[in-house]
Structure 1
Amino acid sequence: MTGLPDPGARDIRGTAEFERVAQFYRRWHEPAFGEVSGAASPSAAPDGRAIAFAGEVRADLEGRPRFRLCVADGSGIRRLTGADTADERNPQYSPDGRTIAFTSDRETSGVQQLMLADAASGQVRAAPAVDGTVEYLQWSPDGARILLGVAGLGADLAGGEGSGGVVRGEREELPGWIPETDSGVSGEDWRSVWLYDVAGRTVERLPLAGRNVWESAWCGPDAVLAVTSPSPGEGAWYTADLRRVELSGVDEVVYEPDRQLGWPAASPSGRRRAVVRACSSDRWVVAGDVVLLAEGRTAKVETAGVDVTQLQWLDESRLAFLGVRGLETVAGVYDADREETTELWSGATTCGDRYPVASFLPDGSAAVVHSGYSVPPELAWLRDGKVETVASLRHAGSDYVGETAGEVEPVEWTAPDGTGIQGLLCTPEGEGPFPLVVNVHGGPVWGWRNQWMLGGTYVRLLVSRGYAVLHPNPRGSSGRGQEFAEAVFGDPGGADTFDYLSGIDALVARGIADPKRIGVTGASYGGYMSAWLITQDERFAAAAPIAPVTDWHSQHFTSNIPFFDELLLADGPHGTSGRYRDRSPVTHAGRVRTPTLLIAGAEDRCTPPGQAVEFHNGLQLAGVPSVCVVYPGEGHGIRSFPAVADQGARLLDWFDRHLSLPEAS
């Protein structure tokens, strides 16, 4: 039976389905209200005895969680700051271990500014405010300065961060009739580098005129290594270069790539520099090859088959890295003097959020937030090839989820052209065949990993209700090298279509999936593929695209990343034919027979909500059951409660409604 009397109702509060889903989330989160239940941004204490981190704390199921400055050591977890309403992020130990720099929005909600805490006493002092919000920070090797990556208050978040503005909501009270305006680039859109002088307690902006700084890192004591572009528009990131910028503002280009760049890092002296070069879909979601720049030479670093997601120099010769290799997470060190790579740890579980991250010490050990589908987040060390748990964030609510969300297993199958495809399969208790939902990841250059949240909160909800959920990593995914990642470029919705369909066939053949009860969902590129697959194959009984692209032409002219669709399609938008038309789901809406639930965020600048509306209207004209749901205040993906519960209720009802077989007579 289904839970919503009307799937198109605007307000579903009070329905049995909404209450069931809300109860699931309450049982998950309520036992940890007021306590640290999640973690991000680990920072290793120099003596290896503690890990500072941003601890996720929920007081209720309203809005998004806030983060507190915390430390984990042998005695457990302690908060270093008071229990007020501030959101605190980006902790980093000073080189001497006495101070933890972090950011906080305690002065203005949503605007992060630099703070410094005494690591022993927790006493906090504020640094002078910068003009914007601090996105990241890094101590200089000598501890004399702190580099601050600052975004203007009009800048965009990356798609992987949720899109929309870096500061959510109105920054000033205005009458309701005041219009929204856009005249192109404004002064508040730029990203820049600021430097905090620890002894003098002063801040100043690095004088780099006409360059937007997406990422930066120290390059010796008197320079910065920066990924830059001449425009602050989100689309300009795709063609950014790498520059060495002296503190006087004098800059030189050190690397002009043919792909995207991320994770710049330099040795303490600045003599050796490194950056990750990759074919990428989103800023901050970069996994690829390591390029070493030293003594006027450029060389690709051997990383044991790992697509690298983080870099950190341990000293003048050793470069630590973290990344993905197939379904594994891998940590290693490259010795530039010996030109040798040593693998330090690899595992089927993982660390980090969008991609693996860690904080390394000179001995090669690394502080991480470790997790798996059945392993709640924990602060841990990667040491001697093992995971050493410091403090687990397990609680009664995570135990409940673990008891109801089934199991995960790696799966492999072969696409029609002979390409091997990997994925992760979540299954409920009991014997198959199960109703199957295919959950398509975004990007397309990203990849599912065995982590606590896996494909989002609704995955555990689906499994708890009796669905199997397949998470494929088709061509275009990270972890299989750049050739595999680039295989989808110029061919979205082409060969990768059959990577998904053959995965379904493999699970049907194994008796896991019921061929009459197949659904598909996914967000971003996953939303695109969820819409595309139902135009290509009639096996799907239901679809739920989230934050989709459905019309590449209108996407190009309404999105904040128009360069990306040209890169992905290897085509231009100015014409009446070609991939912009042929690979758009809306072009083929007339052939769809699959009931479709479309979900979007009203503030999504990456894949604007009009994309969901267009496909919904096309399906309605074709006589296909379709509901379009647009959440106010949400961006690229639904992230705030109670909207998360509302989305979960609608998804479950939609799949229950259309994937259930008729009762036997």
Structure 2
Amino acid sequence: MKKLLLGLLCCVAASPAYAQQGPEPVKVTDLLKIKQIGNITLTRDGRKAAFTVLGIEPDEKNKADYKNVTQLYEIGTEAGARPRQLTAAREGASQPAWSPDGRQLAFVRTVDEKPQVFVMAANGGEGRQLTRYKHGAGSPKWSPDGRQVLFSAAIPLRELLNDSLLNAAKSLPRWPFEKPGFDKNDQLAATTAKPNADGSLAEIRAYLDKNETDKKAKVLTKLNFQDERDVSAEQSFSQFFLIDASAPEAKPVAVTNGFYRFNQAAFTPDGKHLLLSADIDSLQHPDRSLENEIYLADRDGRRPRLLLGQDNTVYSSPEVSPSGKWLAFQMSPATGVNVPELAVMPLNGTAKDIVIIPFDRSKGNLTWSDDDKYLYFTAQSNGGAPLYRANIKTRKVEKLSAADTGITSFDVARDKVVFSQTGVLNPSELLVADAGLKKVQPVGNFNDWVKTKRLSLPEKHSFVNEKGLAVEYWVMKPTGYQAGQKYPVVLEIHGGPSAMWGPGETSMWHEFQYFAAQGYGVVYSNPRGSGGYGQDFLRANVLDWGTGPSSDVLTALDKTVAEGWADPAKLTVTGGSYAGYLVAWIISHDQRFKAACSQRGVYDLATFFGEGNAWRLVPNYFGGYPWEPAVRQVLTRESPISYVDKITTPYILFHGDNDRRTGFVQSEMMYRSLKVLGRPVEYVRHPGGTHELTRSGDNRQRIDQMLRTFEFFERYINTKGEVN
């Protein structure tokens, strides 16, 4: 018996460190099983947490399709507590917010295609609809006395102009609307003229205006005329409102006003004031004004006082400490490529009192500890997104969670931290811990199905490039790897270009594991220009989107091939957005790949400037605009379309029909150019798809894109030994 036990222990010890040895491979349809935890919020006493779970369900309208549904859950923070589902309606629920006494929970649910705020008892039951606002309602927050709920709504300009409550004086924007020939915005004023195509000039204008209202024409006068899905002439303004939390027929009361965008509002702890984050500029059109300020107003929104604001500076993420003494925030230049600075100051102080907390990473989700001693936050760093806390007195930052995981949501109250985490062994799990994360307890079983899967575990490596920058990369062997055999490899590249990948990044968990299960090695890296490595690294691809970053990702591949198991004759490459650009750049300068895939890419930077809503990347990274001769020369040099005649690699291109972030004309240019040249190219368009298709889009289209990429690679790699 002892010999048998010893033999078993030896077998366990000999298990390869590159894989979790479950009985089942990861399948493409496992994408539909992943549940994502988020929106964690604790009661003030730290005894209970509410959170959301995003899952994928069959669509009752079409059984072949799938829909995303978010529901609310709660869990106690005591030992042994288990999660409990609070909502189950098919409309779902999101954005939970506890009342100060922890007895009620506000949340958001869609009603008649508009989000509205609901309130339910903490122990569950049917939610009561609190708002019925015609513009919708979101981001609920309770007043400190629990009597009112603060919420936000986006008000279209046309309706704001005519709203008798929000604009009783029938005011017009003071900033220039930029309609040629109307220097004083007179065209926005109310008119008594009736629409008449054959009438007076005023009646013709009324007729044309009605055509716009009836969606017969889009008249563009604003700078940012593309949203995520379409070309849009609409202009809207986020405003905040208060509503009584208990009166059945309560009406919302506006606490912000004007033709400005308010992006954040919160009560001070004593309930006497509102902290506002907004860009209030009466001289510039909102599309041109890039700054953001922080204001302190009375509880009803009146008498706003500027706390922080100056030219070419963005002040953001304001959070008041529980005592009301301190204000935490971030600040950065309004233009360029930057890592925002974390800072604190007395709430009753001025800019002269600002204290910087040095930490050269992009930070998010600022949250105070109850005693004002610590400021918690998350930050992408070196392939993970750990939870950190800064000691306000010493300005020292402490990393609390593992470097190779990612904290996707968290909250802190009393001596408790509840957080959701992504990692190699679980795409999303819920954990309860003490304030210093010394004792951490996983709770719930939302993704326990992963335990039965064979997973490839990434191995971390690094090298120093010619600029002296340390570049990190990860290698995942096929889950069925056997020493002595050769395997195909897919080089995966991230977008941004300021994104960051690693074991603590959630969006690629399934794709990486799927390719590993199909017998591919997976290599991914964070080339120069990636986030998660500080400002100097972030700026290292300014004026150099192609040559430098491609050198970094190809060096990672070269070093992987040098390990001996990767087959240099069976290399593939794929990436989306900026990475779609970089794939095109690579295959126009390098012929090693058997097949390549670009998704929603940028291929001609001058065209991207016009057709993408992310157009400011052009001046931020290349220092100017396409009509400037020196800049035009750089844009031509850095555009893959300039080298399209050098592309001979079999190539599949993807784009969503409604992707307005990068625009889709460039992919049409790339495809047509390659067809004219007679090169092996295939072009896939996804109807209704936006730039977010692979992350939060139609789930059949997400599966379709992954399978089409794999199938295209197999035409040239043929890992299955099947005849085409």
TM-score normalised to the size of structure 2? 0.75
**Pairing 1:213-228 to 2, within 5 Å after superposition:** 213-219=262-268, 221=271, 222-228=273-279
State the match for 1:630 in structure 2: 685
Counterpart pick for 1:42 among 29, 33, 40:
40
User: Does 1:614 find its partner at 2:669?
Assistant: yes
User: Does 1:292 find its partner at 2:344?
Assistant: yes
**Pairing 1:462-611 to 2, within 5 Å after superposition:** 462-575=515-628, 577-611=632-666
SS in 1 for 2:74: strand
User: Does 1:653 find its partner at 2:705?
Assistant: no
Question: Taking structure 1 as reference, are residues 84 and 38 closer, same or farther at Cα in structure 2, changes over 3 Å only?
Answer: same
**Pairing 1:423-438 to 2, within 5 Å after superposition:** 423-429=473-479, 430=481, 431=483, 433-438=486-491
User: Does 1:97 find its partner at 2:153?
Assistant: no
**Pairing 1:344-355 to 2, within 5 Å after superposition:** 345-352=400-407
> Post-superposition shift, 1:548?
0.7
Structure 1 unmatched runs, 5+: 1-22, 156-173
Counterpart pick for 2:295 among 233, 244, 265:
244
SS in 2 for 1:439: strand
State the match for 1:54 in structure 2: 52
Bigger drift between 327-336 and 614-623 goes to 327-336
Look up the equivalent residue of 1:590 and give its one-letter code. Answer: D
Question: Taking structure 1 as reference, are residues 540 and 235 closer, same or farther at Cα in structure 2, changes over 3 Å only?
Answer: farther
Question: Taking structure 1 as reference, are residues 369 and 307 closer, same or farther at Cα in structure 2, changes over 3 Å only?
Answer: same
Distance 1:488 1:649 in 2: 32
User: Does 1:203 find its partner at 2:252?
Assistant: yes
Q: Deviations over 1:383-405 (max 9, x none)?
A: 33343212131243x345x32x4
Distance 1:237 1:514 in 2: 51
**Conserved? CA contact 1:631–1:643, under 8 Å:** yes
What is the RMSD of the two structures over their aligned residues, measured on CA atoms?
A: 3.5
> Post-superposition shift, 1:122?
3.4
Distance 1:234 1:605 in 2: 22
Question: Taking structure 1 as reference, are residues 642 and 536 closer, same or farther at Cα in structure 2, changes over 3 Å only?
Answer: same
Distance 1:519 1:300 in 2: 49
Distance 1:260 1:230 in 2: 13
Give 1 or 2 for the bigger CA radius of gyration.
Answer: 2
Q: Deviations over 1:65-96 (max 9, x none)?
A: 11011113444222212x33203111122232
**Conserved? CA contact 1:278–1:482, under 8 Å:** no
> Post-superposition shift, 1:420?
0.9
Counterpart pick for 1:70 among 73, 97, 102:
73
Question: Taking structure 1 as reference, are residues 148 and 539 closer, same or farther at Cα in structure 2, changes over 3 Å only?
Answer: farther
Question: Taking structure 1 as reference, are residues 448 and 217 closer, same or farther at Cα in structure 2, changes over 3 Å only?
Answer: farther
Look up the equivalent residue of 2:645 and give its one-letter code. Answer: G
Question: Taking structure 1 as reference, are residues 566 and 573 closer, same or farther at Cα in structure 2, changes over 3 Å only?
Answer: same
Distance 2:40 2:503 in 1: 19
Counterpart pick for 1:264 among 312, 318, 324:
318
**Conserved? CA contact 1:406–1:426, under 8 Å:** yes
SS in 2 for 1:486: helix
Distance 1:125 1:182 in 2: 41
**Pairing 1:98-137 to 2, within 5 Å after superposition:** 98-105=103-110, 107-109=111-113, 111-134=114-137, 136-137=139-140
Look up the equivalent residue of 2:238 and give its one-letter code. Answer: R
User: Does 1:183 find its partner at 2:220?
Assistant: yes
Look up the equivalent residue of 2:513 and give its one-letter code. Answer: R
> Post-superposition shift, 1:240?
3.0
> Post-superposition shift, 1:613?
1.2
Count of aligned pairs? 604
> Post-superposition shift, 1:546?
1.0
Structure 2 unmatched runs, 5+: 1-25, 59-63, 159-210, 223-232
State the match for 1:449 in structure 2: 502
State the match for 2:456 in structure 1: 406
Question: Taking structure 1 as reference, are residues 121 and 461 closer, same or farther at Cα in structure 2, changes over 3 Å only?
Answer: closer
> Post-superposition shift, 1:655?
1.3
State the match for 1:160 in structure 2: none
Percent of aligned positions that are identical: 22
Distance 2:650 2:285 in 1: 34
Question: Taking structure 1 as reference, are residues 361 and 184 closer, same or farther at Cα in structure 2, changes over 3 Å only?
Answer: farther
Look up the equivalent residue of 1:657 and give its one-letter code. Answer: R
Q: Deviations over 1:454-501 (max 9, x none)?
A: 426433321211112222112222221122212223322242221111
Distance 1:375 1:645 in 2: 20
Look up the equivalent residue of 2:328 and give its one-letter code. Answer: A
**Conserved? CA contact 2:316–2:331, under 8 Å:** yes
State the match for 1:416 in structure 2: 466
SS in 2 for 1:322: strand
> Post-superposition shift, 1:202?
4.0
Question: Taking structure 1 as reference, are residues 603 and 454 closer, same or farther at Cα in structure 2, changes over 3 Å only?
Answer: closer
SS in 2 for 1:531: helix
TM-score normalised to the size of structure 1? 0.82
State the match for 1:301 in structure 2: 356
Distance 1:515 1:631 in 2: 32
Question: Taking structure 1 as reference, are residues 307 and 183 closer, same or farther at Cα in structure 2, changes over 3 Å only?
Answer: closer
Distance 1:287 1:180 in 2: 41
**Conserved? CA contact 1:349–1:371, under 8 Å:** no
